[in-house]
Amino acid sequence: MTREFHSRRGFTLIELLVVIAIIAVLVAILLPAVQQAREAARASQCKNNLKQIGLALHNYESTHGLFPPMRQTNAGGVSGVINGWGLMVLPFIDQGAIYDKFNMNLPWYASEADTPSSMNLKMSQSRLAVYRCPSAIERDAMPAPTPTAVALEAATTWPTAATSTSDLGVAGIRKTAASDYTALFGGGGYGRPLVDAANVISIVAGATDPQYTLEKARRIADITDGPTQTFLIVELAGRPLHFIKGKQQNGPTTITGAPTSVTAAYADRKYTQPPWSDWGSGPSNAMAFFDYSGMEGRLTNGASAGCAVNCNNICGIYGFHPQGANVVMCDGSVHFLAEAISASVVSQMMYVNDGRAAKEF
């Protein structure tokens, strides 16, 4: 009997390279689609967060007859108390357990080591998903300088782990949980304001000048420009780390201590100025929208003056989504603002009663 032997032919090198090339092409085609799908999911969650925040603010208004003010300052005569709307609406976003542990007569960063003792700092370190955009970088917040001086301050005036509820201290900076959402209170401050600062009337902030001097709450009836045409809350993501057009500016991903001064931190672009970014404080939750002209490129870094969306997270509207950022209007509706939107249209949507209702959105 004769046996026949058949050899098994394997892949040649060329065939193997062709298969690898085909796989590489498929990966190159599918990877962007997967990334886009992930970003779409993150953007959707961001919109849901703003929807919840908008609903919470409306429920607060229904309960109290007013939207919450931008902040509560100097309650009980304690210097530096600046508890913000993000803290005030906690019971309306299913966070009543955290709210109940806050002492509203002390600053949001007051700790158990302070006199009097407080759980405020510990509660402020709670990372609340509703205040965080999934597309933004993960980071801690850096508490604010004293509320009486929005201008540049020495590092010793930052809230620190001293045994006092004042703003002064010598130990490390107190970390709190960050927020990616804020209320715009108008133009002013650095550079040229887009509109007369005397007309600044934010739906949440209620401030009438850029130095946060008023804690005025507003009603739905005050929105004579129309709730659909007025910002309630907008994205201002990534703070206190400084970003310009999606690029982080020379800063660490975690904050380990105070810079030599706020001036130095601002000048080297490591942190936003002022470096407010937590959900508990007032200034963190009410930032101005600026025209960046005349700033020697420090803010714009190539961006055109009057750039309104996703230009710089020092102030204004800033998200980590491609081509735009999310906002919630005073009627509770959530919208995506394209980067191409004009600064003049954005400025019209910052005020409740300036008679300049935006004609395009």
Q: For residue range 139-182, what is the model confidence (pLDDT) as tens digits?
A: 877 654 433 332 323 333 444 443 333 332 333 456 778 889 98
**Average pLDDT of span 8-25:** 81
Report residue 229's pLDDT band, with 50, 70 and 90 as the boundaries.
Answer: confident
CB 212 within 8 A of CB 283: yes
**Average pLDDT of span 293-308:** 43
- Domain residue ranges of the chain, discontinuous segments joined by +: 18-348
Q: For residue range 313-354, what is the model confidence (pLDDT) as tens digits?
A: 876 789 999 999 999 998 999 999 999 887 777 777 877 776
Report residue 243's pLDDT band, with 50, 70 and 90 as the boundaries.
Answer: confident
For the chain, the average pLDDT equals 69
DSSP string, 164-190: SSSS--SSPBPPEEB-SEEEE--S-SS
Q: State the pLDDT at residue 197.
A: 32
Position 291 pLDDT exceeds 50: no
Q: State the pLDDT at residue 51.
A: 97
Per DSSP, 268 falls in state T
Q: State the pLDDT at residue 212.
A: 27
Q: Can you read off the two tokens belonging to residue 336? A: 């995506």
Q: Which residue has better confidence, 233 or 343? A: 233
CB 287 within 8 A of CB 234: no
Number of Cβ atoms within 10 Å of the Cβ of 146: 16
Q: State the pLDDT at residue 260.
A: 43
Q: State the pLDDT at residue 306.
A: 54
